[in-house]
Amino acid sequence: MRALRLALTDFLGTREVYQVVCRDNLVNIDYIVDPTTLEGAAENELTGADAAAFIAKLSALDFNAWRKPSAEKSPMLADTRWELTITDDGGQKDRYEGGQPLPENFETLLSLLKYAVTVPGGHFLPATAWQLDYVRFGTIQLPKFDGPGRFLNRQLRYRRTYLIDALNNQVVLKTAYAEPLSDHDVVYHDPELVASLAKKVTDAVAGLGDLTAITVDPAQRPRAILVLTVKYPHGEPTQLQVNAETDLKMKKLWQTVTAAIQNFRRIGERRDLQEAYQLGPQLMHYIKVNFRQGSKDYLYKTDLPGLQEGDVVIVPVGNEGRTLHGEVVDAQVMPPIHFPVHPDKIKQVIGLADWDDEDDDWV
């Protein structure tokens, strides 16, 4: 496809025109309103992968059905007439026109053109990564006798970074401090959790509206800044720097993303614990056992997985190597503050009871 032109004329004679011109790896899109006194004219340029994705979506629309004129309804006062002209790579032009009812895929084409001509920065493809930084500065001060140059320089005091990279399936949480404290970072890789977090971040960033690059004026010397960097499949990232103490929208974004990440970490940690419990080496924990519905429960330790209340286990009793069968009455006991005996002397469960055991003392 070399070019596409869609013209819409309403019953008052107002004419809207979408003009698409494709050449090499570049797409220019113009939106014109006639009469020109009306607001709303716009233009945009798509390049690289954004241009290729836009052309692919246009090419996927089937215009063959538009050639067959459907039975048009009688013109109504609010009807809109339309004209579509498509120029192929060889210069051949196909023209279509009509009114109501609109042909199949018409609304899809119109939505596609509206989005492409208004998308900020020509980023037709959605963002693939978001980085949000909170940076707090410290100030090194010179003694008074060194003159009016009061500030020697600005240094980093604290920096917290969230990187949500949906393309590479990772979430990175980094913290940096001024010396002598040590920096640290945590990396997560979980397709399901990363995709869910990316969706929440996309919705939160959408609340900012159209993103335009902003830089903090260094002359203002803010005590802290918030920086949002949005990366796309093609083209330069968009970065917004604002004063963290005065920009309410970015503060709200930081709070929303922080809450989403905290929930992300809680879910991930619960999943890790569940998988470790099912698949990993079992940690020693404490249970309570009762013998033949006795009035007293006894504390034992075990690393047996999946014990439940009502299970019957074999446990050692006394100091002569004797064993008994006992019923688990509490499968997960928090370690007491004051153990009845030294923790090393708490006996360990031998195993689950075998009901075929001839020496069963439980029956």
Residue 357 maps to a domain: no
SS3 202: helix
Same domain, yes or no, for 42 and 112?
yes
Between 182 and 28, name the one with better pLDDT: 28
The residue whose two tokens read 């990993």 is: 280
Residue 127: φ, ψ to 5°: -65, 150
> Taking CA 350 as the corner, what is the angle to CA 345 and CA 354, rounded to the nearest 5 degrees?
155
Residue 299 maps to a domain: yes
> Quick check: 246 pLDDT over 60?
yes
pLDDT at position 78 is 55
Same domain, yes or no, for 248 and 264?
yes
pLDDT at position 342 is 81
pLDDT digits (tens, 9 = 90+) for 100-135: 788 888 999 999 999 999 888 888 999 999 999 999
Last residue within a domain, chosen from 255, 279, 303: 279
Nearest to 261 by CA among 208, 202, 198: 198
Residue 358 maps to a domain: no
The CA distances from residue 229 to 216, 218, 252, 296, 302, in Å, are: 14, 19, 16, 62, 50
d(CA 237, CA 127): 9
Please tell me the total count of domains within the chain. Answer: 3
Same domain, yes or no, for 83 and 177?
no
Full residue range of the structural domain in which residue 64 is found: 3-122
pLDDT at position 150 is 40
Same domain, yes or no, for 275 and 133?
yes
Same domain, yes or no, for 61 and 149?
no
Same domain, yes or no, for 158 and 60?
no
Residue 361 maps to a domain: no
Nearest to 99 by CA among 121, 118, 76: 76
- 146-153 long-range contacts, Cβ below 8 Å, gap at least 24? 151/221
Same domain, yes or no, for 171 and 313?
no
pTM over 0.95: no
- Mean pLDDT, to the nearest integer, of 173-181? 83
Same domain, yes or no, for 175 and 296?
no
Same domain, yes or no, for 152 and 193?
yes
Last residue within a domain, chosen from 76, 95, 122: 122
d(CA 183, CA 100): 64
Among 50-59, 212-221, 301-310, the least confident range: 212-221
pLDDT digits (tens, 9 = 90+) for 255-294: 999 999 999 999 988 887 777 767 767 778 899 999 987 8
The residue whose two tokens read 């019957």 is: 312
d(CA 342, CA 338): 9
Strands (E), 10-150: 15-23, 26-34, 42-47, 81-87, 93-98, 129-141
Between 27 and 214, name the one with better pLDDT: 27
Same domain, yes or no, for 208 and 334?
no
Between 27 and 339, name the one with better pLDDT: 27
Strands (E), 166-311: 170-177, 184-188, 224-231, 238-243, 285-290, 297-302
Same domain, yes or no, for 34 and 70?
yes
Last residue within a domain, chosen from 242, 257, 279: 279
Please report which helix (H) or strand (E) contains residue 265, including its range: helix 248-279
Looking up residue 16, the CATH number of its domain turns out to be: 3.30.1560
Q: Do the Cβ atoms of 286 and 346 come closer than 8 Å? A: yes
Same domain, yes or no, for 106 and 162?
no
Residue 362 maps to a domain: no
SS3 362: coil
